[in-house]
Amino acid sequence: MNRKVRTLTIAFAFLTGAVAAQEVKDDFKPSIFNQSGQLYPQVNSQGYARFKIKAPMADSVRVSLGLGGSGGTILARDADGFFIGTTAGPMDEGFHYYHVMVDNGMFNDPGALNFYGSTRWESGIEIPAQDRDFYALKDVPHGQVSQVLFPSKSTGITRRAFVYTPPDYEKDMKKHYPVLYLQHGWGEDETAWSNQGFANLIMDNLIAHGEIKPFIIVMTYGMTNEIKWGGIRNFKIDSFQTVLVNELIPYVDSHFRTLPDQLSRAMAGLSMGGMETKKIALANPGVFSYYGLLSGGTFAPDDLKTDQQKPKLVFLSCGSKENPANVKKAADELKTAGFNAVSYVSPGTAHEFLTWRRSLKAMAPLLFR
């Protein structure tokens, strides 16, 4: 997460929380991302989160989420060896990573499932969004998410990708599909778009409602360089570009029924994945036709002037708590310069996964048309 954005978000939400704190509704329910049978963490209808951690002999337990003065929620000991606490204010709708500090050691919440973020498996909690229906698990035909192990000569190892194939993929063995290469953000990995992003369920639902033409999504790990906090400005794209363009795309085209041409290939990514999309798209003008930057920067018309073939679409998005004016302005300038550019702003969200779930939903109907 961008540190500047995070700081702003916390400041805003803290004020909101301080106002709302006097009327916390007592309708807390287990988060949908709890481990099987676990009652905590819980979320109420206003977006407050409540945590309950067993640590009978601990002196202090703190949760990294919750907008308190220390940037987290300090839990209080109860009589039964548990520490309990509620966030000082409501959280943004959607998904949040967090961890638990037990006597200053960093652990995960035993009640929650883990998700890969910040270069580690972190606890995750979901604040139900008003529009959560579009990524809900429903009784519709479901596609598959397949783990693929592909050889990478350039990095000298076997690498992993997950490939979403739509529900009708197994029905007609002669049908071929366009492909979206979809990248995660810094500190995340190839599991993010399926686990916390619900990319497969978003696609299943869009397809079931006839809102998109079915396509394949390929998600792989976008970090082949060493990247530490603060080091992302020095990020070199070459190594991952080789993996993606020279190794993964040919592998996918030979192991799945793809349409292996530029007009049937898109690339998009969130945050760092947007930066990767921009760099790789510009350095490889014959490979993709659709570019999506989700909270991941913008294209200027000048960026695209050396492109011999205009992209069919430039999609730019972010959360309303990020820098929506910048995204809209960039899309307007692209449109003025004759490009097919579309901007999308996710209401009430910051640099977090509900922004990107909604961005995928908004972008998918515009691809491969």
Q: Minimum CB separation from its own copies for residue 42, in Å?
A: 18
Burial class (CB in 10 A: 0-12, 13-18, 19+), 347: middle
Q: Minimum CB separation from its own copies for residue 148, in Å?
A: 6
| Residue number, 26 or 226, with CB nearest to its own copies | 226
Determine if 54 is a binding residue for its own copies (CB under 8 A).
yes
Determine if 70 is a binding residue for its own copies (CB under 8 A).
no
* Beta-bridge mates of residue 343: 316
Determine if 58 is a binding residue for its own copies (CB under 8 A).
yes
Among 175, 255, 263, 320, binds its own copies (CB under 8 A): 255
Among 10, 32, 84, 102, binds its own copies (CB under 8 A): 102
Q: Do 322 and 354 meet the contact criterion of CB atoms below 8 Å apart?
A: no
The interface region with its own copies, picked from 39-47, 139-147, 296-304, 315-323 by CB under 8 A, is 139-147
Signed CA dihedral, 301, 302, 304, 307: sign only: positive
Determine if 256 is a binding residue for its own copies (CB under 8 A).
yes
Q: How many other β-carbons are positioned within 10 Å of the β-carbon of residue 183?
A: 31
Determine if 56 is a binding residue for its own copies (CB under 8 A).
yes
Q: Which of residues 142-161 bind its own copies (CB under 8 A)?
A: 142, 144-151, 158
| Residue number, 9 or 196, with CB nearest to its own copies | 196
The interface region with its own copies, picked from 107-115, 299-307, 346-354, 357-365 by CB under 8 A, is 107-115
Distances in Å between the alpha carbon of 253 and those of 20, 149, 238, 247, 337?
Answer: 53, 14, 21, 10, 34
Q: Minimum CB separation from its own copies for residue 198, in Å?
A: 12
Among 53, 192, 202, 219, binds its own copies (CB under 8 A): 53
Torsion, Cα of 12, 18, 20, 26 (10° steps): 120
For residue 214, say if its preceding peptide bond is cis, omega within 30 degrees of 0.
Answer: no
**Alpha carbons 22 and 24: distance in angstroms, whole number:** 6
Distances in Å between the alpha carbon of 211 and those of 119, 169, 214, 268, 293?
Answer: 35, 17, 9, 19, 21
Tokens coding 271:
């945050």
| Residue number, 196 or 200, with CB nearest to its own copies | 200
Q: Which of residues 80-99 bind its own copies (CB under 8 A)?
A: 81
Determine if 179 is a binding residue for its own copies (CB under 8 A).
no
Q: Do 285 and 309 meet the contact criterion of CB atoms below 8 Å apart?
A: yes
| Residue number, 93 or 122, with CB nearest to its own copies | 122
Q: Minimum CB separation from its own copies for residue 233, in Å?
A: 21
| Residue number, 203 or 270, with CB nearest to its own copies | 203
Determine if 79 is a binding residue for its own copies (CB under 8 A).
no
Q: Minimum CB separation from its own copies for residue 277, in Å?
A: 23
Count the residues in the chain: 369
**Alpha carbons 299 and 317: distance in angstroms, whole number:** 12
The DSSP symbol for 112 reads B
Tokens coding 209:
């409602």
Q: Per-residue x/- mask for its own copies, residues 196 to 235, rule CB under 8 A? A: ----x-----------------------------------
Tokens coding 95:
């998904």
**Alpha carbons 166 and 62: distance in angstroms, whole number:** 42
Residues that bind its own copies (CB under 8 A): 35-37, 53-60, 81, 100, 102-108, 110, 113-114, 119-121, 137-139, 142, 144-151, 158, 163, 170, 173, 194, 200, 255-256
